[in-house]
Amino acid sequence: MKTKEDIEQLARFAKALGHPIRISILQYLDKQNCCFTGDLVDILPVAQSTVSQHLKELKDAGLIQGEVNPPKVKYCINQENWEKAQNLMCSFFDIDFNKNSCSI
């Protein structure tokens, strides 16, 4: 970790990753590229309001982004921040991400 900002951002990312449902959402988005809230409700064992809350946490951390297509919101991984999260995690665990020895 180089800067205070990096440490704070890593903590935000780690907090957002701190729930199994959020990790499941990210895994799903990674495979599907994008999806709507209803798609996640169909595959996750929780209510729509719970899915929405988890999406909000991931969005607030910057790991996903949403595009409003009334009446739905389409979500996808924020690729720039996802790569930054991977790099910060690898740096924290002292793994060289650029040599493909770290994949999260």
Which of the four pLDDT bands, split at 50, 70 and 90, describes residue 79? very high
Q: CB neighbours (10 Å) of residue 24?
A: 16
Residue at 26 is within a domain:
yes
Average pLDDT taken over every residue of the chain: 90
Which of 65, 61, 90, 59 has the alpha carbon at shortest distance from 78?
65
CATH number of the CATH domain containing 31: 1.10.10.10
pLDDT for 101 equals 55
Express each pLDDT in 34-49 by its tens digit: 999 999 999 999 999 9
Residue at 17 is within a domain:
yes
Residue at 96 is within a domain:
no
Displacement of CA 70 from its chain's centroid (Å): 23
Residue at 99 is within a domain:
no
Q: What is the rounded CA–CA span in Å between residue 5 and residue 24?
A: 27
Q: Show the domain range for 52.
A: 4-91
Q: How many domains would you assign to the chain? A: 1
* Three-class DSSP category at 36: strand
What are the backbone angles phi and psi of residue 65, rounded to the nearest 5°?
-135, 155
Residue at 103 is within a domain:
no
Displacement of CA 2 from its chain's centroid (Å): 22
pTM for the model stands at 0.86
Express each pLDDT in 4-15 by its tens digit: 999 999 999 999
Which of 13, 5, 4 has the alpha carbon at shortest distance from 90?
13
Residue at 41 is within a domain:
yes
Q: Answer whether residue 99 shows pLDDT above 90.
A: no
Residue at 97 is within a domain:
no
